[in-house]
Amino acid sequence: MDSILVTGNGPLNGQIPIAGAKNACLTLMPATLLSEEPLTLTNAPRLSDIKTMTQLLQSLGAEVSSLQDGQVQAMSSHNIDNHVAEYDIVRKMRASNLVLGPMLARLGQAVVSLPGGCAIGARPMDLHIHGLEALGAEIELKEGYLHAKAPRGLKGAEIELSFASVGATENIMMAATLAKGTTVIRNAAREPEIVDLADCLKKMGAHIDGAGSSSIIIEGVDRLHGATHPVVTDRIELGTYMLAPAICGGEVELLGGRMDLVGAFAEKLDQAGINVSETDKGLLVSRNNGRVKAVDVTTEPFPGFPTDLQAQMMALMCTAEGTSVLEEKIFENRFMHAPELTRMGANIEVHGGTATVTGVERLKGAPVMATDLRASVSLILAGLAAEGETLVNRVYHLDRGYEHVVRKFSGVGAKIERIKGS
């Protein structure tokens, strides 16, 4: 397994390009199953999760070709000859469950393995099941697989989500595009990736209103046609790289960054004494002189502070002046980066879903272990600001969600290299 060696090297300066959003691309790709005509996605990120989704769609009979070094996913689901999403693919990536809604709508049946838990939590699918059953699907759990069928097709319904689940909103919205009649999703997730999916589905001929608000209305249509759609900018990659000048000092321009994608996060950075401003190419981030101030953070569904930026923000708070309380309200086990940061001299106390961080002047480099995608990059951020060398092990987690990490950080002056594993 590869590792990444980071050496604290002072302020960072320059530009970092931000890629298309992993979490948008992973829901846009299954949308190809809704139409017999080709769907092409541009600005797709080059990530291992995208390769996994490609394998899954191909296993169902879709044709997927990654063109232009993976930045274009040209897909055609003319012949879908398999409706079973096998465990050995689904267990690698929870987002595989996003083929459930489209397959039910297109084929009237689907067998999708339950993803099983992952490092950050149990990741159940009860909200997906509740919503799809409301549309008329019959879903049974047998030997770890969801067996779903809609023999009489799907019918529009009013659905209230008990939690604004991103994946459940996406599965229900995609299924509802081909259901008979009107579907209303209440307490829908409001993430920008939901808006991006709705924009793509509308280009394919779907009738959707309200995406981005907590009530989404979908008028079913008989069929959807092909389209070409650019994947929206990745707000989590954007937020991650905004923290590089915040934790190291210096000034970095994030190319393609948009303030509307990182509202609550940028507000927290402002409270901590970090300057964020808009330029004609993206966002410019710099740190005032002196230490960052400690701020409290509670993760919430969009437009609140994103859970996917909690680990990275904790790294910044480890070097802040004062004490910060971070509350993780979305996932039940998302503080695995805390003991690793403690190895670097951080002062963190975790009790259940709350972490109390008392900032220290400077972290010290140390060998650490990446445990999940966002934890791995928080360790790199900590290493960039630490004294000495930090060796981050198990960086395959990183490859799932961050393309060209070494190139992007070294492009602004970081001392960072990837070490091939045995």
Q: Is 123 in the site for ligand EPZ (CB under 6 A)?
A: yes
Q: How far is the CB of 282 from ligand EPZ (least distance, A)?
A: 21
Applying CB under 6 A, among 35, 50, 53, 94 the residue interacting with ligand EPZ is 94
Q: Is 26 in the site for ligand EPZ (CB under 6 A)?
A: yes
Contact 135, 179 (CB under 8 A): yes
CB nearer ligand EPZ, residue 308 or residue 403? 308
Q: How far is the CB of 9 from ligand EPZ (least distance, A)?
A: 27
Q: Is 95 in the site for ligand EPZ (CB under 6 A)?
A: yes
Q: Is 121 in the site for ligand EPZ (CB under 6 A)?
A: yes
Q: Which residue is nearest to ligand EPZ (CB)?
A: 167
CB nearer ligand EPZ, residue 51 or residue 123? 123
Q: Which listed range, 19-27, 50-58, 175-183, 276-284, lies at the site for ligand EPZ (CB under 6 A)? A: 19-27
Binding flags for ligand EPZ, 303-342, as an x/- string (CB under 6 A): ----xx---------------------xx-----------
Q: How far is the CB of 236 from ligand EPZ (least distance, A)?
A: 6
Among residue numbers 126 through 185, which ones bind ligand EPZ (CB under 6 A)? 126-128, 163, 165-168
Give the number of other Cβ atoms within 10 Å of residue 404's Cβ: 14
Contact 77, 33 (CB under 8 A): yes
235-248 helix and 310-317 helix, angle to the nearest 10 degrees: 10
CB nearer ligand EPZ, residue 95 or residue 254? 95
Assess whether 118 carries a catalytic annotation: yes
Q: Is 284 in the site for ligand EPZ (CB under 6 A)?
A: no
Phi, psi of 395 (to 5 degrees): -80, 10
Q: Is 235 in the site for ligand EPZ (CB under 6 A)?
A: no
Binding flags for ligand EPZ, 372-401, as an x/- string (CB under 6 A): -xx--------------------------x
Phi, psi of 335 (to 5 degrees): -120, 25
Q: Which listed range, 117-125, 217-225, 254-262, 408-416, lies at the site for ligand EPZ (CB under 6 A)? A: 117-125
CB nearer ligand EPZ, residue 287 or residue 337? 337
Q: Is 124 in the site for ligand EPZ (CB under 6 A)?
A: yes
Q: Which listed range, 61-69, 122-130, 318-326, 409-417, lies at the site for ligand EPZ (CB under 6 A)? A: 122-130
Cis geometry, peptide bond prior to residue 303 (ω within 30 degrees of 0): yes
CA distances from 151 to 35, 102, 133, 139 (A): 19, 15, 12, 12
Name the strand (E) or helix (H) holding 408: helix 405-410
Name the strand (E) or helix (H) holding 335: none
CB crowding 317-326: b at 16 or more within 10 Å, else e? bbbbeeebeb
Q: Which listed range, 115-123, 147-155, 311-319, 408-416, lies at the site for ligand EPZ (CB under 6 A)? A: 115-123
Give Cβ neighbours of residue 289 (< 8 Å, ≥ 6 apart).
none
Contact 369, 344 (CB under 8 A): no
CB nearer ligand EPZ, residue 171 or residue 390? 171
CB nearer ligand EPZ, residue 188 or residue 246? 188
- What is d(CA 246, CA 291) in angstroms, rounded to the nearest whole number? 10
User: Could you tell me the maximum CA-CA distance found in the chain, to the nearest angstrom?
Assistant: 65
- Judging by DSSP bridges, how do beta strands 274-278 and 72-76 pair with one another? unpaired
Kindly write down the DSSP assignment for every residue of 140-202, as one continuous string: EEETTEEEEE-TT--B--EEE-SS--HHHHHHHHHHHTTSBSEEEEET----HHHHHHHHHHH
Contact 136, 172 (CB under 8 A): no
CB nearer ligand EPZ, residue 18 or residue 373? 373
Among residue numbers 356 through 375, which ones bind ligand EPZ (CB under 6 A)? 373-374
Active-site annotation holder among 118, 200, 248, 318: 118
Q: How far is the CB of 405 from ligand EPZ (least distance, A)?
A: 15
Kindly write down the DSSP assignment for every residue of 67-94, as one continuous string: ETTTTEEEEE-S-----EE-HHHHTT-G
CB nearer ligand EPZ, residue 123 or residue 418? 123
Number of residues that bind ligand EPZ (CB under 6 A): 25
Region at 212 (left for phi over 0; alpha for psi -120 to 50; beta for the rest): left
SS3 391: strand
Instruction: Please identify every residue annotated as catalytic.
Output: 118
Give contact residues for ligand EPZ (rule: CB under 6 A): 22-23, 26, 94-95, 121-128, 163, 165-168, 307-308, 330-331, 373-374, 401
